Copies of this chain bind each other. A is one copy, B any other.
Amino acid sequence: MTHGNGFSRLDRWLLQQIYRSAGRPPIRFTLANSVEVSPPDASPVAHIRIADRSTLLRLLFDPEVAFGDGYCQGRITVEGDIIGTLETLYQSMSVADHHSWYGKIVSNLLAVLQRNSLQGSRNNIHRHYDLKNDFYRLWLDPQLVYTCAYFPASSVTLEEAQIAKMDYVCRKVQLHPRERVVDAGCGWGALALYMAKQYGVTVRAFNISHEQTLWARWRARQLGLSQRVEFVEDDYRNISGKYDAFVSVGMLEHVGLEHYEELGNIIHRSLDDTGRGLIHFIGRNKARPFSSWTRKRIFPGAYAPTLRQAMNVFEPHEFSILDVENLRPHYARTLEHWLSGFEKSTSKVEEMYGPDFVRAWRLYLAGAIAAFRTGDLQLFQILFARTACRQIPWTRAHLYRQKQYDDEGTRWIRAMS
């Protein structure tokens, strides 16, 4: 033990600063196996090991990025349940003021560098969604739906819950045969194909990820739906034509706050006088950016808005908000499925992208579970319509009256899979 010398006293003081800025969580922190800070009362729920002093110093100046990067590089290890540890940290940090001045500068700098201009969006989306499809196939459902699922009952699998979500969206929007639908940010195209196949609509689906668009077109051919579903490799800002319904699931996070009115203009010009639509996105209770680490390493340019901010899309054109639902617990459950699939495939992922990548994605998925469980993140579905829309049902009972909420329902979902 080296507790006696001056360096260790400094190390211990620094470690205590980290413990304090994290809101004094019930977690044990050690540096290089020699200096330790432990919660005074409660027995710690986890043990965070910091390998060296340079990692410790980086944690002080820019905790978010340093924690993420340190974890990915193996310089920070977590003993104990990673999700539980992150939940504990979210909770303790929500009381503490955990933003250092340096972290704030990095955060603002990232926001400028990752602006979602037409070219910026292309770069930002490319970095995340143009990873090999083979990577996502390891842990997503077979249709590659990379957004929050909907679990109408606890016995429902991930695959079924993604189908249930797609059907829920269609029922909310009240799709009818031969209607024209535009899907903005369509991912691998599962929802566009589902709407066409199950509800008889025609769909134009936009996406700027090249890999995803190729896959979606291949799936459309495979399902014989190429005549009714057109996958366009282009930005939502270039959507043309008139539609009965506008659907966007998991795109708003990538639009960027400064472009919400522009998105509203595009919805306005795309929708008929009686049109309606649904926007599904990760949101927040209070305005705050994603962690710098998430924006730097996982989702460049991403932002989860509050409902207040999201209203910038709808209010300028006087859309009526009909229904807002918060599906936060469903995203925690979805992510649990993803993480569990991911953990089963780590050896393959490591072969593809190396061990740092494995740790980065583990941290991202576990962090997201913790965020949705603790209420740091929300998942909103907003149903909206023009005031002249006549497709508004009298109550929401039609969403629940059906097939899906008992054993028979589960069988129905299985039949659709």
Contact = CB atoms under 8 A, between A and B. Distances in A.
Contacts of A326: 320-323
Nearest to A150: B395
Interface residues of A, number: 42
Interface string A146-166: 000011101000000000000
A397 B315 contact: no
Contacts of A399: 396, 400
A255 B387 CA distance: 26
Nearest to A378: B320
A375 B311 CA distance: 17
A392 interface: yes
Contacts of A374: 387
A395 B330 CA distance: 9
A394 interface: yes
A320 B328 contact: yes
A394 to B, nearest CB: 6
A323 B324 contact: yes
Nearest to A392: B329
A408 to B, nearest CB: 14
A388 B95 CA distance: 13
Contacts of A387: 285, 374-376
B392 A401 contact: no
Q: Most chain-B Cβ atoms within 10 A of its Cβ — which of A307, A323, A396? A: A307
A394 B151 contact: yes
Contacts of A319: 285
B397 A396 contact: no
A156 to B, nearest CB: 11
A406 to B, nearest CB: 10
Contact of A401 (B322, B378, B400): B400
A397 B400 contact: yes
A325 B329 CA distance: 19
A374 to B, nearest CB: 7
The number of times this chain is found in the oligomer is: 2
B395 A152 contact: yes
B316 A286 contact: yes
Interface string A46-70: 0000000000000000000000000
A285 B325 CA distance: 18
Contact of A388 (B286, B375, B401): B375
Interface in A261-287: 285-287
Contact of A285 (B307, B315, B323, B329): B315
A337 to B, nearest CB: 16
Nearest to A326: B322
Given A315-B287, A387-B285, A394 B329 contact: yes
A60 to B, nearest CB: 27
A322 B376 CA distance: 14
Interface in A293-326: 306-308, 311-312, 314-316, 318-326
Interface string A128-171: 00000000000000000000001110100000000000000000
A353 interface: no
Interface string A381-410: 000000110001011110111000100000
Contacts of A308: 307-308, 311-312, 315
A320 B285 CA distance: 5
A49 to B, nearest CB: 30
A152 B326 CA distance: 23
B285 A318 contact: yes
Contacts of A312: 308
A315 B286 contact: yes
Contacts of A323: 324-326
Given A329-B394, A401-B405, 5 more contacts: A307-B311, A308-B308, A323-B325, A396-B396, A397-B400
